[in-house]
Amino acid sequence: MSIVVPKLVVTTADAPFVRMAVDFAEASAAADVTVDPRKAMQVIDGFGGAFNEQGWEALSVLTAPARDAVMKAIFDPVEGLRFNVCRTPIGASDYAIDRYTLDESPDDFAMESFSIDRDRQRLIPYVKAALKVRPDLKIWASAWTPPTWMKTTGAFDGGKMKDDPRIYAAYALYLAKFVESYRAEGIDVFMVVPQNEPAWLTQYPSCGWTEAQYIAFIGEHLGPLLRSRGAGTSIWAGTFNVPTWDVASVLRDPRAGPFIGGVCLQWGGLGLVEPLRAAFPDKPIMQSETECGNNFWEPGYDAVRAPNDFAYGAYTWRKLRDFISAGCSSYMLWNMVLDERAKNLDAKAPWPQNSAVVVDRSTKMVTYTPMFWATKHFSGLVDPGARLVESRGAYADCLAFANPDETVIVELLNAEPAARDVRVSIRSRQVAFTLPARSFASLIVPPPPCNCS
């Protein structure tokens, strides 16, 4: 009979992702965390991040071997972050090199001038470099702004979508041609989101949509067009970052709802996860963009450099905990790679944001940030198809999963400046260990030989 031996993976500032053996202990004290693998919740589809032009620009200063090493660190399905689902922008995001869309010819309703030539310079090479490491990587796409002639202001930043059936039809064709053009490049886009943050008008590419516009566009234009063209691409509602936008009304609508495969929530959308999951259990929910910056709205924030420190790594860890425990099936970082400046396209005051990997363009130094390691404790150990399982107790910085092979992964954070002893109870046995100060940790408990719970 094989012996079940739990293991602990620990990350500190000096020693990331160190594996060590631990052992079952006598139940001499109350457990800080009790995990019950029999009480399973949503399936976890995976983890990922976003491709952006600035990320590829940063990677391009490296030698080919150094760049390949970064891509392996992110996408390798065994040793890397194991990202298996990632986002790419349709036209410019706020981390493009500059503002653009794929068809800026005014009133080009037939999309005769549509072109992805710009994407062939940076975005497509970035995606293909990832696919080289992980051929089964799933790609989804969203737009920050439609072509400017489709908007009330005629500008890239801010403005609202024109409420005009001809515009809706043209934009549906725009998105369909994006999917088809990328497929011709060997990149299958499995889902498309019409608008990034439709209730959030910014000083970088953005566009406002009302719920009624969203319903009319998806139900009467995009859904039928993608179906008629045999795109095989799902439409997801999103990406929503405020709790006041009425997502439920879109999902309930008899025209739009049947075309919608899931929901993308981020930032202030956390409060929508539980009610949407309860009301629409057949619609999976993705956390589509982790929060960027390190409390950048607070006085004293350094607007020159993104912190990329342990505090932000811990902040991201807790966002993973909060969105997944609320009911999300997948979790996306924002930028995977940025340079040392890390500033976006905000027209008023470009501000730096965090990333999993930082490439210093002058020194060519590559840094894997605390956010990278916080994420790896989830993505590197929790397999697609795993389920969130019940974890209860006084230790709040904890989340547990059961992989398809019944291995249990218990995620833990110690954000305090002192070490902390922790006891975890699972399958009527306890594991006791010490978490170093300011550390991320994962307890790995294989299934018992009898496969009993």
Q: pLDDT (tens digit, 9 = 90+) per residue, 346-386? A: 999 888 899 999 999 999 999 999 999 999 999 999 999 99
Residues 312, 439 within the same domain: no
Q: What is the pLDDT of residue 307?
A: 78
% of the chain at pLDDT higher than 90: 91
Considering the domain boundaries, does residue 450 fall inside one? no
Q: Is residue 452 part of a domain?
A: no
Of the given ranges (214-218, 291-295, 440-444), which has the lowest mean pLDDT? 291-295
- Quick one: what percent of the chain has pLDDT higher than 70? 95
Number of domains in the chain: 2
Is 342 a residue whose pLDDT tops 60? yes
Helices (H) and strands (E) in the chain, counts: 10, 21
- Rounded average pLDDT over 184-213: 97
pLDDT digit string (tens) for 159-181?
999 999 999 999 999 999 999 99
Position 371: which residue type?
Answer: M
At which of 379, 408, 426 does a domain end? Answer: 379
Residues 192 and 52 in one domain: yes
Mean pLDDT in residue range 423-449: 95
d(C-alpha 424, C-alpha 8), whole Å: 12
What's the pTM value of the predicted model, to 2 decimals?
Answer: 0.96
Pairwise CA distance, residues 356 & 338, whole Å: 8
> What is the residue type of 209?
W
Residue 304 lies in a domain: yes
- 3-state per-residue secondary structure call for 44-90: CCEEEEECCHHHHHHHCCCCHHHHHHHHHHHHCCCCCCCCCEEEEEE
Owner of token pair 């790419």: 88
Contact 145, 207 (CB under 8 A): yes
Residue 385 covered by a domain: no
For residues 49 and 29, membership in a common domain is answered with no
Is 110 exposed, middle or buried (CB count within 10 Å of its CB: 0-12, 13-18, 19+)?
Answer: exposed
* 306: containing domain: 45-379
Q: Are residues 250 and 267 in the same domain?
A: yes
CATH number of the CATH domain containing 206: 3.20.20.80
